[in-house]
Structure 1
Amino acid sequence: MPLAHRMVAAATICAAVETGAFLLPGARNHPCRTGGPLLTGARPSSTVQLTNGTPAAAFADVRATDSSLAASEADQTEREDLRNLAIVAHVDHGKTTLVDAMLQQSSVFRDNEQMGIRVMDSNDQERERGITILAKNCAIKYQGTKFNLVDTPGHADFGGEVERILNMVDGILLVVDSVEGPKPQTRFVLKKALELGLQAVVVVNKIDRPSARPEYVVDKTFDLFCDLNANDMQSDFQIVYTSAIQGIAGDEPDAMAKNMEPLFKAIMGMPKPLVKELAPLQALVANIDYDDFKGKLGVGRVHSGSIKKGQTVGLGRPGGEVKTGKVAELFVFDNLGRTGVNEAHAGDIVMVAGLSEIGIGDTIVDPANPNPMVPIAVEEPTVRMTFGVNKSPLAGREGKFLTTRMIRDRLMKELDRNVALRVEETDSSDAYEVSGRGQLHLTVLIENMRREGFELLVGPPTVITKQVDGKTYEPFETVEVQVPDEYTGAVVDLLSRRKGEMLNMSPVETGGDAKMTNVEYLVPTRGMIGLRNSMLTATRGTAVLDTIFDSYRPYAGDIEARDKGSLVAHENGVATPFGIAGAQSRGVMMVSAKDEIYRDMIIGLHQRPGDLRVNICKAKALNNIRSATKSISDSVMVPIEVNLDMAVEYIQADELVEVTPTKIRMTKNSQTAGKSK
């Protein structure tokens, strides 16, 4: 249905919507919302405790009927000179590129300064993977108003970053692709924002794409707001169309300005921070950073009162002990960096140094009148892996950090800033059980440790189950796959064999000649482990796979394991061309000539079920006719390149991944492996 017709129909159906509700350009009211009155002027509360995903106190607007709340908020004022907002989006919808354009046009960079691509993605893995992993702050000035921008991850595995960051802001820029529209992880981050009562400006990005379909995308976004039970004011979102790569924006897709001015004006119209300047100090810590000279740094928003450099403050949580400390340094964000200040006021996002015991979820308070805020509850992990000491025959040759104590200290340090992570001891003194929001969440941590000089033995990912009334429940994920029509059957077969339940299958309007199908499934998280590589193989690399955690459901039963076994090294030594040439007829190799090999190391993929031991260290005997490697090297095929993500997906319960600063190897677990063939 065309957008104009939809809005007229909504006005007719929904009797609760007042006459004239559709006068504003781009307005969206909420005809499908059920329950609760029409809220006008609703504002997010300073603190929200979530229980099972339900906001306990999403809006301060109830003061109209609650005299005690009205009295407590009578001293609230709006800061005209400040806007705090987070930029949220699905992976690869142009969120970080949009921040680049905003920074460029706000004169953050000098005219003669060379600006990089995706300057906010400062982490090496972020640049390599093309995704945002860590939430980061920056600030720009526009017509005397300061915009505090928080660039958040788009991948659901890093949802812990999103959940705690949203408590620092008053609104969000929801970026959606002009062709793809809202995706599963768009839903995830928007759901978190709406639960906190935040309002959104919808940014339809990549409007310059030839196949752009902005009206379709806006309608789909509106439907998503309806599905997530957004209130009427949230559904009345403003729309801005942008091409981040070109640095242009507009209020209509066919009326684009020559710069980002329409987007800046839309931000100016977002909610202003509600502050209590005269109330006791409250600053909720949402992030932790480290400095080689200043030590641990806490990042958070001052919700009430003010904080000064050199001030003695309290640090605590509701119901806990309040510890005291002194603010050694105080910073606010300025452009891409931070600037030291002597004092910060309610509404400011600050960075505090000098409080060595500060942690995410703590509240910086006035020690004479402590009133810690309730931190946002973070969703529980769904996947776990074991991290242990490297015990392979090649251990200790490359890494600097090898012992159990070093691994434990590093994991404990990670807990300080990674709120969605859990670390537990195991029966073995050499291994720890690490739980996270998904496989990617954990492999990013492993990769960081590898680059820092750690050596590890990592176990296969397994899901975390729950017992409810004597029954086993396991996590399920909503899976969305966009694939060319000719490979739809292969995708359906793969997901069905992994206990998937089809939710929807429909053609995709791409605006081009290619015929694509969108397939949606509900699949146990167990079935998703190792699926990505299989799907890329089955679809010749053409499938686009997106997943999001759905819920815990009854155990789905056994899921078929990997249909092929491994080629396992028979003895220690160095791989030779002659040995590899003889073994590659049995499967696909994962090692090259001259690689060091040890017994039980996985060196290839067997072409049949079950493991097979092969000797690839044997050399051809010399004779007086030709050399030992004559014509052999030419017949050796190029091996599969093994990286961390591929190895973690590949291994099963009786296998491990050996991680060193330069090598990724796989091996049979000597404690659990049965006899190989």
Structure 2
Amino acid sequence: PYLGKLGIGKVVNGSININQNIVVAKRDGSLEPARITKIFRFEGDRKVPIETASAGEIVAVAGMNDINVGVTFTDPDDPQPLPIINIDPPTVAMRFIPNNSPFAGLEGKFVTSSHLEERLYRETLSDVALTVESLGAGAGFKVSGRGELHLSILIEKMRREGYEFQVTRPQVIMKEEGGQLQEPYEELTIDVEEQYQGTIIEKLGRLKGQMLEMSRRNAMIRLVYKVPTRGLIGFRSEFLTDTKGMGVMNYVFSSYGPFAGEMLNRSRGALVVKDACTTVAYALFNLQDRGSLFLGPGIKVYSGQIIGEHCRTGDLVVNPSKGKQLTNMRASGTDESVTLTSPHRLSLEDCIAFINDDELVEVTPAAIRLRKRNRLNAGGRPVREGTQSGIMPKQYAVM
């Protein structure tokens, strides 16, 4: 039978029973009468119906029409709401946009803006740290969360469920107090072997980090830093690479502080496809000297898609389908075999950290692609928007 929403929580005092009358104390202080129709106890991954639950048990309760995180079920004769749990405010925001690339609708099951809206608002019912704001028709949704990893997990969940969409680079949520721009800071704790501490300290210095504590525990060095949230976007994968997977890091929101200044996102450009085609080994072999490739031969690509990182500043428009010129003349000697180096496969977190403000990550159940926001013009050049540094203009509180 349909039970509606289930409220999951811990019985703090007394007991609850089926058909018991209660009141729901909401976060705004209002009281709403309700009646418990079902109680479930968790056994492994199953919900087992029970008649009563006493203090200390974690149960799921049915019978409320409208229930949200943070409410208290209490006795109507003596209502005693529990203290409201304060949730840290969101510090990072991204735009979720319906997919409009040339491959739109080919790989996903849920592809429209209405599908995207329903799924995002459904996520807010179980994730209190997530906020969703509609930006109007065609503009997508601004999704704010507690960090890059928080939003990456949501993106991966939606991708596996069959959703197809695009996301922008994460932008930190700024504030302006007393005429001064404020940005969020995180308290970063790192445990790393002594041989890697120099590399990590140098990198955190470039990220405007302030060392709060440094101590030694056995053969490990513990570093505690206060770092702008901007600096930690994409840092996790670099940290694991620098420490060869042996380092441990975690961070929590510290406070808002003065804007730390400009921070470079990416110093190199991208290899951008000129026309829709299928990549061939001969063309990719000749492009290897121009940068690091993200894919191999035999892959369909479209105009404006990013297939690699340029070895220099500025973007380079390329043709990955260019084959070897064939003639009817005999060649002296044998042709050289084409040997490709393994492409650098980017994870979802790597893609989000790689893109600039004029680029997007296209997310589908079958693939994750990088692309320019705009198509290439007649001259084969993408039209740039925004800044490359990932710094938001001062007049905006968020991107």
Which band: TM-score by shorter chain?
A: 0.7 to 0.9
Cα 1:363–1:517 change in 2 (3 A) is closer
Which stretch of the first structure deviates more once superposed, 614-623 or 440-449?
Answer: 614-623
Cα 1:480–1:318 change in 2 (3 A) is closer
1:25-74 Cα offsets, whole Å, 9 max, x none, are xxxxxxxxxxxxxxxxxxxxxxxxxxxxxxxxxxxxxxxxxxxxxxxxxx
Aligned to 2:312: 608
8 Å contact from structure 1 (residues 579, 617) kept in 2: yes
8 Å contact from structure 1 (residues 317, 373) kept in 2: no
TM-score, with normalisation over the residues of structure 2? 0.85
| 1:558 maps to 2:267 | no
- Of 87, 111, 114 in structure 2, the residue corresponding to residue 378 of structure 1 is 87
Aligned to 2:161: 452
Structure 1 residue identity aligned to 2:367: K
1:69-109 Cα offsets, whole Å, 9 max, x none, are xxxxxxxxxxxxxxxxxxxxxxxxxxxxxxxxxxxxxxxxx
How is 1:636-651 mapped onto 2 (pairs within 5 angstroms)?
A: 636-651=340-355
How is 1:579-658 mapped onto 2 (pairs within 5 angstroms)?
A: 579-623=283-327, 634-658=338-362
| 1:357 maps to 2:66 | yes
Cα 1:439–1:589 change in 2 (3 A) is same
Q: Secondary structure at the match of 1:558?
A: coil
Aligned to 2:36: 327
- Deviation of the 1:409 alpha carbon: 0.7
Write 1 or 2 for the structure with the bigger share of helix. Answer: 1
Aligned to 1:668: 372
Aligned to 2:223: 519
TM-score, with normalisation over the residues of structure 1? 0.52
- Of 104, 109, 123 in structure 2, the residue corresponding to residue 395 of structure 1 is 104
- Of 108, 119, 130 in structure 2, the residue corresponding to residue 421 of structure 1 is 130
Aligned to 1:477: 186
8 Å contact from structure 1 (residues 524, 556) kept in 2: yes
Structure 2 residue identity aligned to 1:548: V
Cα 1:521–1:619 change in 2 (3 A) is same
Structure 1 residue identity aligned to 2:296: S
Q: Secondary structure at the match of 2:53?
A: strand
Unaligned 5+ runs, structure 1: 1-291, 511-515
- Deviation of the 1:415 alpha carbon: 0.7
Cα 1:358–1:668 change in 2 (3 A) is same
- Deviation of the 1:368 alpha carbon: 6.0
Unaligned 5+ runs, structure 2: 376-381, 386-399
| 1:341 maps to 2:50 | yes
- Deviation of the 1:637 alpha carbon: 1.5
- Deviation of the 1:518 alpha carbon: 3.7
Does 1 or 2 have the higher relative contact order (CA < 8 Å, sep 6+)? 2
**Distance in structure 1 (CA, Å) of the matches to 2:17 and 2:10:** 14
| 1:491 maps to 2:209 | no
- Of 503, 506, 531 in structure 1, the residue corresponding to residue 235 of structure 2 is 531
1:129-181 Cα offsets, whole Å, 9 max, x none, are xxxxxxxxxxxxxxxxxxxxxxxxxxxxxxxxxxxxxxxxxxxxxxxxxxxxx
- Deviation of the 1:666 alpha carbon: 0.7
Greater Rg by CA = 1
1:515-537 Cα offsets, whole Å, 9 max, x none, are x5443332211111122333444
8 Å contact from structure 1 (residues 296, 358) kept in 2: yes
- Deviation of the 1:487 alpha carbon: 3.7
1:494-544 Cα offsets, whole Å, 9 max, x none, are 11111122234444423xxxxx54433322111111223334444555544
8 Å contact from structure 2 (residues 192, 248) kept in 1: yes
**Distance in structure 1 (CA, Å) of the matches to 2:224 and 2:12:** 41
8 Å contact from structure 2 (residues 277, 302) kept in 1: yes
Q: How many residue pairs are counted as aligned between the two chains?
A: 377
Structure 1 residue identity aligned to 2:7: G
